[in-house]
Structures are given as structure tokens and as C-alpha cells.
A = this chain, B = another copy of it.
Amino acid sequence: MPPAASTPAYRRLNVEERRSQLLDAALTLFAHRAPEEISLDDVAEAAGVSRPLVYRYFPGGKQQLYEAALRSAADELQQCFDEPREGPLLARLARALDRYLGFVDQHDAGFSALLQGGSVVETSRTTAIVDGVRRAAAVHILSHLGVTEPGPRLRMTVRMWITAVEAASLIWLDEDKEPPLDELRDWLVEQFGAVLAVTARRDPQTAALVQGLAADG
């Protein structure tokens, strides 16, 4: 029996609750400092538990904790994309973007550290988690557009816009969150409309969509 289990405070939470408490503490730390600046001691201190307890839950140490926290952030991000299939398409996109930018705003430093790469704990697994979020965003957008078999030009347009949004988020954090979130959101939606219109000139599938969007207004 590990020593921590004998302390009453440690018995109050069950395994899932404890795990989730540690992930929350880690996410909050990662949200404000780069991963390489955070130690397991910091996480233990933030959660008000002992270092051995953190190791008991994350025997792989910091790398495992970082990946779990990243996965939990990725899940939260993907929830931003959930949007009912009602009303004009661009308005739905604006609402999803609003939640996404709210997440970026709230997790600023951690979000930058996560996406800017070069972190000492970055691995192909963490890259895969971030890529999973990008892919989920593309799937959501194409599904709202009502497209089940997107051609290469439409697919590339959507993926390019998602990358541009990600870049905009990082630049926005870098520029002290200017322009204001509402303006950034509307501007990004307008850009989506504009790049779709450009692709429509070369791609009949996208042209049909753009016609639908105009009627949708």
C-alpha cells in the first residue's frame, strides 16, 4: 500500500476524481507556463498533494502527465465544435469560433506553448493529438456544409482555413489579444466565405456550396 493512501485527505476522492483533479491542476499550470518550465513538484503543489501521489497516477512522469493534460485540453477544444444543425451556416461557424476563441483566451500561455512546438516534451504522440483536433474541426465543418465526399480542392480549402485560424489565434495572443475577440471572429468567418468563393471559381462542388450559402443568408 503506498504511504499516501494512509492520509485521510487522499481517501476522499476516488481514482477517477483524483486523476481529473491532477489533470485540472496540470492544465492550469500548462495554461500559464511552457511545459518545460513545469515540474511534477509544481503539479503536486498546485493540487495540494504529494509528489509520490502524482507519480502513482502518472508513473510515466511529466511526459505522461503532459500528454494526458493535452488530451484533456483537446477534448475540451473539440467540444467547442459541437453546434446544432440549425440556422444559417456562417452563423453556426461564428458560434463555434466564438467558443474556440474563448478557449484560446482562457488558456492563452498554455495554448501558445502547445501549438508553437519546440517544446522539450513534444513527441510524435503529442503532435498526433493536436493534429486530431485539426482533423475533427475539418470533419465538423464539412459535415455542416452537408458534404460527405469532399473533393481535393474543397478539402484543401477547409484545412487551409483551419490552419489560418490557428495561426490567427497565436498571433492574436502575441498581439495582446488585438483586435477584440468579436471582431476577430467575424473577420475569420468573412475570410472563410472569401476563400470558398475563390475555390468555387475552380471547383464545381465548392461552387454549388457557395450558391447554397448565399441563399442561406
Q: Which residues of A line the B interface, CB within 8 A?
A: 116-120, 122-128, 152-153, 155-156, 159-161, 163-164, 166-168, 171-172, 175, 178-179, 183, 187, 190-191, 193-195, 197-199, 201-202
Contacts and interface: CB of A to CB of B under 8 A. Distances in A.
Contacts of A118: 122-128
Nearest to A190: B198
Q: How many copies does the complex hold?
A: 2
A171 B161 CA distance: 12
A168 B171 CA distance: 19
Given A123-B118, A195-B191, A202-B183, A167 B178 contact: no
Contacts of A193: 198
Nearest to A162: B167
B199 A187 contact: yes
A179 B153 contact: yes
Contacts of A119: 124
Given A120-B123, A163-B166, 4 more contacts: A116-B127, A160-B167, A194-B197, A194-B198
A133 to B, nearest CB: 14
A159 B171 contact: yes
B168 A156 contact: yes
Nearest to A168: B160
